[in-house]
Chains A and B, each alone.
Chain A
Amino acid sequence: MPAPMTRRAFLRLLGIGIGGAACMRIANTLPDPLASSPAPTLVPLPASVTPFLPAQAAPTQAPPTAVSYPDLVVARGPTPEHLVRQGLAALGGMPRFVHPGARVVIKPNICVAYHSYEYAATTNPWVVGELVRQCLAAGAAQVTVMDSPFGGSAEQAYAISGIEAQVQAAGGEMHLMRSFKYVATDLPQGRDLHALEIYDDVLNADVLINVPIAKHHSLARLTLGMKNLMGVIRDRPLMHQAIGQRLADLASRVRPALTIVDAVRMLMAHGPSGGSLADVRQADTLILSTDIVAADSYAATLFGLQPDDLPYLRAGRDMGLGQSDLGAMRIEELRVGA
C-alpha cells in the first residue's frame, strides 16, 4: 500500500511545478507586441474620466468667469526658464492649474538615452526644471517627472538628457516607470480604440503637464503634444496601425491640464532619435495652452505645415478635443528678454 503523501512532499512538488511553469514562461518570450488584449484579471482602478481638467479650464470653451485667458501663448526669447515663467503668467499663472497639495505628473519627451539635449531628441531640461519649480511654488505636494524611453534604459536616458539634473535641482522627483503599474483602462470616447493599458500614476495625478519637444517623425510627420502621450501606454506598436485616430482616442482619456510644446530647439529630420546637430534648428520658442490640439496646431506651422496635414490633429478636432483653426484662436505672442 503506498504511503500517503506528506505535507513536505506535497509542498516540494508544488514548488517544482511553479518553478517549472515560471521557467517555461520565460523560455517563451519572443515579444509579441500585437497580442495586446488587456488581461482579463486586471481590475481597472477607479479613476474619473477627465481627472486633469480643473472645472474652469475646459479646453474647448472660453472660461465662464470674467477673467479671460488667451487660448494659446507663444513665448519667444533666448532663456528657456524665462519663457516658462512669462508664458505661464500670460495663461494665468501656475496656481490656476496646480492647487496646494496637488500631486503633479510632468511628462516630457525622453524617448532615447543616446544624446544630450542639444540634439533635440529630448525635451529641454531647463523648461522641465522651471515647470517643477513653478508647480512647487504653487503648493504642489509632489512633482514627479517620467517617460518611458524606447531606446536605452530610462535611468540612463534621464541622466543623458540632462532632465534629471534640472528636475532634482528644482526639487522634483524622477520616476522610473514600472511595468506592473499599467492598468487596463476604458476609452469611453474612443472611436478606434476602446481600451488601453495606461500608466496608473498618470491616470491618478491631480494635474498632468505634457511637455513634448517639437520633432520630425516619419509616420506621424511630427511628434508634438498628442504624440508625446504615447509614452504613458504599454502597447505602443498598436498605435502605429492607425496613428491619427488612435492618438486622438488616447488623448480623449489622458487629458493634460497644460500642454507646453518645447520648440527651443527643434529636430527637423531623422526623428525621433536624431543624433546630428545639422538636423537641429534653434527656434527659442515655447507654445503653451490648455488645449492640446491648439498647441500642436500652432507648432505644426513652425515646420511649415498646416494643422490639417497631421492626421491626429484632424482626428482630435473632429472628436472635440480642441481647436485647430489658428485664425479663430486668441493667441498671445510674447517676446521675452534674456
Chain B
Amino acid sequence: MPDMKVNYWNRYLETLPREKIQQLQLKNFRRILQYAKDNTIFYNRHYKDFDTDDIRTMDDVRRLPLVDKEDLRIAQDNKEPFPFGEMLGVTPEEVCTFRQTSGTTGKPVYVPESYESWQWRVEIWCHILWMAGFRETDRLFIPFGYNVYVAFWEGHFAAEKLGCMVVPGGALDTKGRINKILEVRATGLLNTPTYGIHMAETANKMGLDPRKIGIKRMVCAGEPLPQATRLILEEMWAAEVYDHIGGTEPCAWGAMCGQRKGLHIMEPHFLVEILDMETKSRAVDQGELGVAVVTPLGRRSFPMIRFNTKDVVRRGKDGCECKRTSMMIEEVAGRMDHLRKIRGVLFTPVSVEELLRAEFPEIGEFEIIVKRKGVMDEISLKLEIRREMGDQIQQELLIRLSERLKIKTNLRFHLIPVKLGELPRYSLKAKRFKDLR
C-alpha cells in the first residue's frame, strides 16, 4: 500500500472514483466550452449550432466537430489580434508569454498563455514530476537552451514550484553539461531520449561511467520514447526513466507513475477521447489503437476544444497498481502524421526504433529514407555501427537485421552502413525519418 500522503501530488484528485472523474470532466467541459464560445471568435463561429447546456454525456461531446492544427493555422493567418488570432481567449494585454510549435508539420503555431494559464500548465507538470519521484531534495539539470519549446520551460517552472533546485544547461556543449552535472551533483534530467543517449555516450568518451554520475531519474520530452529506448536509457544511466505525452497546443496530458507500465491520463484536468482512426467517432476499447482527441479543461488563454492531437495510442485499462484511478495508455504508437503507406503497407518509423533499440545494441544512430524509384517506393535505413567488426560479422548482422525488419514492418529495407559519427546528432527533436517521395 503506497503512502497516501507523499505519493500523490493531489491524493483526492488522483484517486477519485471513475464516475466522479467523469462527472467532473463533463462539468468542466461545459464550462470551458461556454468560456471559449463567449471569449473567442473562432469557437463562437465553430460551435454556433451547439448549446453548451445540451452537452450531458460523452455521446453529446462527440457530436462537436474536432479542431485540428490546420484550424489553428487558419485562425492565426493574418488574423487579429496579431499574432495569436481568433483563438485567443483573453485580452492581448493578459498574455504574459507564448510558446511555439516546432513546425514539424507546417507553419509553427503561436500558443499564448496568460499568467493564470501558464500556472495551470505548470501545475500539470508538478503532477508529472511528482509522479516521477521528484522531491525537494532533487537537483534537476535541463541540458538545453529552451527557446520556444514548451516542455522544458514547464518542467523548469514546475520543478521550482516543487522546491527542486533547477539547473538550466543551455550555452554549454555536451562535455560542459556533463561537467556541470557533476559539479552541482544533479540527481535528475529532463531531456529528449536522443540527447539522453548522446550524453551517456559522451560521458563514456570522457572516461566517466554515466551510471555513477548520480542521476537517479530522468523525464523524457520532445520525441517518442519506445519502451526499448526507455530501457536502454535506464541501463545507461542506472536511473528511472519516465515518459510523458503532450504537445504545445494541448499541454502535457499523460505521464508515467513509478510503476512505469504505461501512461496515466492526467484526469480530470483533461478530457481525453481515444477514437477510432478512420471515422474518429467511436471510442476504442481497451487494447485497441486510436487517435487521441484532447480537451484541456482549465486553460483559458488559448482554449483547445476536442483538439485532434494525431497521436496514435493504445488504450489501457482504468487505474493502476499505484491506486491512481485515471485511464491509462498502454503504448504511444506514433503519430498520424508519421504513418505512411509504403508499397501499400502502413508504416510508422517508431517500429524501426523499437526493433533497433531492443535487439541491435551494436547499432547507434540511424536514419530512414523513403524515395520513389521508378514506380516503386524504396525504403532505406542508414545506420552507424557502434564498434569495429569484421566484414563477415557485419554482413551477418545486416542479414539478421534485414530479416527482423521484414517481420516487424512487412517491408524490405535497403541497408546502408555509414561511418560512426556520419549521421546528424540532435539535441531537440530528432529527424530520423525522411520521406522524399
Q: Do A and B bind each other?
A: no
